[in-house]
Amino acid sequence: MNTFRQYLELTKPRVVAMLVFCAVIGMFLAVDSDGQRVLPTWHSGIFGALGIWLASASAAAFNHLIDQRIDKLMARTSHRPLATGQLTSMQVFVFAMTLGIVSMLILVFLVNMLTAVLTFFSLIGYAVVYTAYLKRATPQNIVIGGLAGAAPPVLGWTAVTDSLHPYALQLLLIIFVWTPPHFWALAIFRVDDYSRAQVPMLPVTHGVKFTRWHIFFYTVLLFLVTLLPYLTGMNGLIYLFGAVVLGAGFLWYAVKLFNPPDDYFPMKMFNYSIIYLMVLFAFLLADHWLVQPPVHLPVRFDPIV
């Protein structure tokens, strides 16, 4: 592997691509204080996405740095550049710091302070609170830590409007509730890895059966939470259709997981979780721009900040 690819791997490019995708959709879902659709300017769109991307990549690189001992012990992560010794801790530290500082400079000077502050908290939330503390401390690690990963649509939104709208928090809530079934499906499949590395993930501490019930509970909750954008008048029937069909698919996986046809089934659910989120956000976007103004529940929500 050449050096460029090793540094690229530190940034968890596919996960971060998804975070930026959610942030960009957040930008295009933004409304002003009168509830009117607004578009990102070229400036806020490009620098907002760049800053959020670099901050997420920095957080991912810090995660590699802090987790190198664990990563060495798990089959899924043992090939990572620090685990194999292809990069040194100092190289990764300098890389992560550089990305973090550049992202903050971009957000503070070229976007706005609100987005910079919220992105900074997300970076610290993932790199320090989740990775260095929660991950090793409690099986609720990914539930609480999921807050940082759920932030991107809010960050995209604030990059455009410089204000925090309650509608944006609904998007955060969706990703927040989506994260446990997303991760625990993978954790069931990788339970031996986590057990070997002594990471207290739910299937390790409480068993697979208990984890399946948690996945089911969060999937039902996710189904309900995804109805909120319709119920609050943020989105219309096109979105509702997408949310119900996609949610029914997710529920099917959660139920089938109680009696899986084969050992690989949890990974099929994990893969579905990613398609689910991507398509759900595409529906939010399509609905927002194809159907306007929303015709139901004329509730007015003012920005919080």
Ligand X SMILES: CC(C)=CCC/C(C)=C/CC/C(C)=C/COP(=O)(O)OP(=O)(O)O
Tell me the CB-side half-sphere exposure of residue 229, using CA atoms within 13 A.
33
Are residues 211 and 203 in contact, defined by beta-carbon separation less than 8 angstroms?
Answer: yes
**Nearest partner of 222 among 254, 193, 263, judged by Cα:** 254
Indicate whether 233 belongs to the interface with ligand HEM (CB under 6 A). no
Binding partner of residue 300 among ligand X, ligand HEM, none, CB cut-off 5 to 8 Å per kind: none
Q: Which of 27, 60, 61, 65 binds ligand X (CB under 6 A)?
A: 60
Are residues 170 and 232 in contact, defined by beta-carbon separation less than 8 angstroms?
Answer: yes
Indicate whether 22 belongs to the interface with ligand HEM (CB under 6 A). yes
**In the bound complex, what is the minimum distance in angstroms from residue 56's beta carbon to ligand HEM?**
9
User: What counts of helices (H) and strands (E) characterise the chain?
Assistant: 15, 0
Are residues 138 and 200 in contact, defined by beta-carbon separation less than 8 angstroms?
Answer: yes
Q: Which of 149, 181, 247, 266 binds ligand HEM (CB under 6 A)?
A: 149
Residue with tokens 């607004």: 38
Q: Which of 44, 68, 115, 122 binds ligand X (CB under 6 A)?
A: 122
Indicate whether 118 belongs to the interface with ligand HEM (CB under 6 A). no
**In the bound complex, what is the minimum distance in angstroms from residue 148's beta carbon to ligand X?**
5
Residues in 129-148 that interact with ligand X by CB under 6 A:
131, 148
- Whose Cβ is closer to ligand HEM: residue 83's or residue 240's? 83
- Whose Cβ is closer to ligand X: residue 100's or residue 229's? 100
Four-point Cα dihedral 127, 128, 129, 132, nearest 10 = 100
CA distance 144 to 176: 9
Residue with tokens 């940034």: 11
Length of the chain in residues, anyone?
305
Interacting residues toward ligand X by CB under 6 A: 12, 15-16, 19, 55-56, 59-60, 63, 67, 77, 119, 122-123, 126, 131, 148-149, 151-152
Interacting residues toward ligand HEM by CB under 6 A: 14-15, 18-19, 22, 76, 130, 142, 145-146, 149-150, 175, 179, 182-183, 186, 274, 277
